[in-house]
Amino acid sequence: MDAKVVKGAVGSTVVGKTLLQHVKWEHLAAGISGGVVATLVLHPLDLVKIRFQVNEGIGITNRPQYNGMLDALRSICKTNGFAGLYQGVTPNVWGAGTSWGLYFFFYNNIKTWMQGGDAKYALGPGRHIVAASEAGLLTLILTNPLWVAKTRLCLQYEQSAGSTTRGVYYNGTVDALLKIYKLEGIRGLYKGFVPGVFGISHGAIQFMIYEEMKNKYNIHYNRSVDTRLTTLEYLTFAAVSKTIAASVTYPYQVLRTRLQDQHRSYTGVMDVIKQVLKYEGPRGLYKGVVVYLWHVTPNICIVFMMYEYITNWGKKVAVVDK
């Protein structure tokens, strides 16, 4: 029996169809591809960002000190060679690829379900935020252990067994995951989860802005909202949406990184906030933001360019009449 479509003030609801009937696996493949490529290209900046985020200036005195982004890159390369710039890259590749793949997969299938399978139906800002938030939460639950492993590996400052405050050295991603679980349990693998939940707003804001910019742009030129755009148009919308979202929500990343740091212990999110504000002031919540913006803009452009290219394969690019 055909599914019935009920239209009302809130949009379209498909009765009789399940969410699984709207699954599109190309979104998973596209997200993984974009995440992996972007991470391999830009990991050194991510490494520097993490080290800046935890550099509180008190307590841990043996942290490397850097005079800016370029000095950090030179110092790391001088100390550990070029390979040092890719410390922690394995869990980052796994984490970024998995996260982007799952996020795009969940987001687009939830969005398609909300649209009742009609890609030309514009959901509006509210529903885009709901879809992005649901996708973000599901992705965070599945990938948080990888982000803990990535942070721990990025914060191993010297390549020696006694290089960490707690005397634990991680020999790669799997070893990190096993040791964290053995010594700290499930709670250790989910450190930073709470600020990560707050960070879901980052993705929600970004995707809402991105989708609305695309929709308004197509509507302005009297085209369907699912019309394929040019690479430059996708890159512009991705960069603008990511920059706005990052500027608004960045502090959650500092909180998450500090909770995952193996060199310090905090009792929770509020303890981190209190200590940051007490010893570093409000600026402490934005440590590493400059490096982050240098990293995230090309990162998101690579991810979204590959994503849109793969998922829109076969569609003709729209030509705007001047």
| CATH code that applies to domain 12-311 | 1.50.40.10
d(CA 48, CA 283) in angstroms, rounded, equals 18
Q: What is the pLDDT of residue 166?
A: 55
Q: For the chain, which ranges sit under pLDDT 70? A: 1-23, 57-61, 158-167, 314-322
The count of other CB atoms within 10 Å of the CB of residue 183 is 11
Q: What is the pLDDT of residues 241-254, one digit of tens each?
A: 988 998 889 999 99
Q: What is the pLDDT of residue 145?
A: 96
Q: What is the pLDDT of residue 134?
A: 92
Q: What is the pLDDT of residue 60?
A: 54
Residues 105, 45, 241: CA angle, nearest 5 degrees: 45
Q: What is the pLDDT of residue 256?
A: 96
Q: Quick one: how far is CA 241 from the chain centroid?
A: 13
Q: What is the pLDDT of residue 20?
A: 53
Q: What is the pLDDT of residue 43?
A: 96
Q: What is the pLDDT of residue 311?
A: 81
